[in-house]
Structure 1
Amino acid sequence: MKFSANLGFLWNDRSLPDAIHAAAAAGFDAVECHWPYDTPAAEVRAALEDTGLPMLGLNTRRGDVSAGENGLAALPRREMEARAAIDEALDYGAAIGARAVHVMAGFASGSAARKCFAGNLKYACEIAENKGITVLIEPLNHYDAPGYFLSTTRQAEAIVAEVGAPNLRLMFDCYHVQLMEGDLTNRLRQLQPIIGHIQFAGVPARGAPDEGEVNYAHLFEVIAAMGWDVPLGAEYKPGGDTDATLGWMQQYKA
């Protein structure tokens, strides 16, 4: 398997360019991040060029973090802010050569939120198409993100179908899906046609993948048998020195 280091969690005590270099030194095949906007795009692009690592994706801004916001795209009457965040993410992504942008839904519910989310995703997909960027949506579990609009892959599958854009895809995070639905092997196989990225972490503590209830040795075999050749996103919380937690990669890396 090939792996991508999610620098929102791994080496997050370093500047983003330094974290990119650390990921390369550790043997990762790609990187991804959460909210890189405090770092000039030119510095990130230089680090990517120095290391030869692709940037798989980044997130739209969460909104007012001090007020507990976690995304804007499904919040009715916040469309202008949501689309400004989408524009920012796509512009930044294009500047660093990112392959995808995750549009964060936020805390909302009901039909108005769904209509708002679908409308903002259509907007994002139209802009992203011209930049060659994929738009991702990701269900978050209701333990870590209670009240988040998007919480299951079935809900995401319906929204992808409703929006109908070829560049709108599902971010399948094994950690979140296991907590909400389980049945990871079958869900991966069933949803493969709309999956744009796969992430993983140990369950339930969100630590390294060699900890917890999910048998990733088996799951990575399933993913390989699907013909998946894009690096899988290691989005786990190391709980200390990242390098000290990377023993799993020697076991699973191709």
Structure 2
Amino acid sequence: TALVLDTNGNGKRDEYVEPDQPIDPTKDKRINAAFYGVTVSPVDGSIWGTVLGFPGAVVRLNPGSNPPGTALAEVYELPWNNPGAPVHGFSPRGLDIDRNGVVWTVIASGHLASFDRRKCKGPLNGPTATGQHCPEGWTLYPLPGPQLKGVTDPGSAEASYYDWVDQFDTFGLGKNVPIATGNGNDALLALLPESGKFVVLRVPYPMGFYAKGMDGRIDDPKAGWKGKGIWATYGTRTPFHAEGGKGTTSKVLHFQLRPDPLTQ
């Protein structure tokens, strides 16, 4: 379906103007965007996706009762050069969602970012709802690691590719824990939302762990920590550049969390 904003604010999809045309108060407006990461909200069935670029955005698509004819989109750009924004960041890539409908994405400014549509104070449709209308919905968490030399903006040099939300506590840190691929950290980076602190799940050997995604699985709910865990791979296209050199192949990793270091 075309991604159409309800810029005339009547709550339904109408005839629309194209992205290179000015807003017409009697019509809706199509935006030129395509999803990179994509997920479905467990709250209302809406579809969320990231839009690459600068500053980039997340888009919410409500299919309606008879898609694509009833599908309406909402676009929420990363807050950038917005005087009303408490935080600034840019360029999302991977994306997932938690059980509360909060969207999580990793962004190129070195953050794990959440967007909570429930925090928006202004109208979610109409002529002003074109991207920078809900900076208050964003929360940015600087990823672990140093910032690039000479850069004074918040964030870090970490360049995470994707993220995933552990909605059902398949790992052991709790439900709705977002985890980013720590591609500059040789790790997975799990954020504890209540404290805002990261747990770094570093892979010490072989060096060069580079995940592009992950998933969780509970094999035996009665077996405690031994019956569940997260699965990830070395996702680089050049595994022979990791520790081991020529002939090194990719690997599948299983992460499990003991409740105590001495637990057997």
| Higher share of residues assigned strand | 2
| Higher share of residues assigned helix | 1
User: By the TM > 0.5 criterion, same fold?
Assistant: no
With the shorter chain as reference, the TM-score category is under 0.3
Higher RCO (C-alpha 8 Å, min separation 6): 1
Normalising to structure 1: TM-score of the pair?
A: 0.26
